[in-house]
Structure 1
Amino acid sequence: MKSVFSILSLFILMSFQSCENSNSEIIFHKSHEPSRADVPFSDAVETDDLLFLTGQIGKNHKTGKLVTGGINAETKQVIKNIKDVLEYHNLSLDDIVKCTVILKDIDDFKDFNWVYTTYFPKKPARTTFAASGLAGGASIEIDVIAAK
């Protein structure tokens, strides 16, 4: 029993030393869009090998307005917004490893999914759920994690 505790103690000590020696840097990126310069969150947060994007809604960042046309149009705009942020950081939709999708109405799932699958043939991991209200009156919000 004593040797099990000794091995466990050694493992814990090595784990702490590994964390202390880590040179991980976290970079909080402001938006590349002038219209989003004063938002109270980072457009993207970068760590060693990952880029975490803030949630995007179907707002056209040039006009500042939610696109019209329902869930299909909003989904396309959300993905365009994600693509723009990724390209600014020299990444693409193919670098996405995880998506979190929030729908205002779960009944929109089929239409959203039809649009979504045309952009993500690599099939990143995904979580989808519905919430009763989204920012800006949006029908959909997606946040992603991309691998650098």
Structure 2
Amino acid sequence: MSKKIKIKTKNAPSAIGPYSQAIKVGNLIITSGQIPFTAEGKLVSDDIKDQTRQSLTNIKKILEEAGLSMDNIVKCTLFLKDMNEMAAINEVYHEFFTEPYPARSAVEVARLPKDVKIEIEAIASTD
């Protein structure tokens, strides 16, 4: 296995537990789940579009720290409080991604950290 390298930026919320914002291993960068908090640790709003935009912005900032962009993402996993909000989420998703879109999974969950409506994690490739 390749050496794991920690990726950390001040432009996204800091890890609040025993985990990293992201890890690089081989040609992959794997982010931890990003919730809709600003780098200063404040919830962006209660609106699902705002929350989706902030979660994706956090991922973008982490990838930029590693010298990558959203175009490097090959897979996203979305954890949602309410699957009925998928249309609104997709509207914002289009602001960050173009064809060919990354692979994606979406899972409705009972509860998310800090009672947010969405958490997003991503896998990016340096290739």
Q: Which amino acid aligns with 1:114?
A: E
- Whether 2:6 is the aligned partner of 1:28: answer yes
Bigger Rg over Cα: 1
Q: Which secondary structure state, in structure 2, belongs to the residue aligned with residue 118 of structure 1? A: helix
Which whole-Å CA distance do the structure 2 matches of 1:67 and 1:28 have between them? Answer: 26
- Whether 2:9 is the aligned partner of 1:53: answer no
Q: Which secondary structure state, in structure 2, belongs to the residue aligned with residue 146 of structure 1? A: strand
Q: Which amino acid aligns with 2:5?
A: I
After TM superposition, the structure 1 = structure 2 runs for residues 12-27 of structure 1, keeping only pairs within 5 Å, are 24-27=2-5
Which whole-Å CA distance do the structure 1 matches of 2:34 and 2:122 have between them? Answer: 9
> 1:111 and 1:42, CA in 2 relative to 1: closer, same or farther beyond 3 A?
same
Q: Which amino acid aligns with 1:89?
A: A
Which whole-Å CA distance do the structure 1 matches of 2:115 and 2:3 have between them? Answer: 35
Which runs of no fewer than 5 residues in structure 1 stay unpaired?
1-21
**Structure 1 runs (4+) greater than 6 angstroms displaced:** none
Paired position in structure 2 for 1:113: 90
After TM superposition, the structure 1 = structure 2 runs for residues 1-148 of structure 1, keeping only pairs within 5 Å, are 24-29=2-7, 31-33=8-10, 36=14, 39-62=17-40, 64-122=41-99, 123-148=101-126
Which whole-Å CA distance do the structure 1 matches of 2:105 and 2:15 have between them? Answer: 29
> 1:117 and 1:38, CA in 2 relative to 1: closer, same or farther beyond 3 A?
closer
Which runs of no fewer than 5 residues in structure 2 stay unpaired?
none
Matched positions, count: 124
> 1:118 and 1:41, CA in 2 relative to 1: closer, same or farther beyond 3 A?
same
Q: Which secondary structure state, in structure 1, belongs to the residue aligned with residue 98 of structure 2? A: coil
Query: Which protein has greater RCO, CA pairs closer than 8 Å, 6+ apart?
Result: 2
Paired position in structure 2 for 1:8: none
Q: Which has the higher helix share?
A: 1
Q: TM-score if structure 2 supplies the norm length?
A: 0.89
Which whole-Å CA distance do the structure 2 matches of 1:111 and 1:38 have between them? Answer: 28
- 1:42 Cα deviation (Å)? 1.0
- 1:118 Cα deviation (Å)? 2.3
Which whole-Å CA distance do the structure 1 matches of 2:111 and 2:17 have between them? Answer: 20
Q: Which secondary structure state, in structure 1, belongs to the residue aligned with residue 68 of structure 2? A: coil
Q: Which secondary structure state, in structure 1, belongs to the residue aligned with residue 67 of structure 2? A: coil
Which whole-Å CA distance do the structure 2 matches of 1:51 and 1:140 have between them? Answer: 21
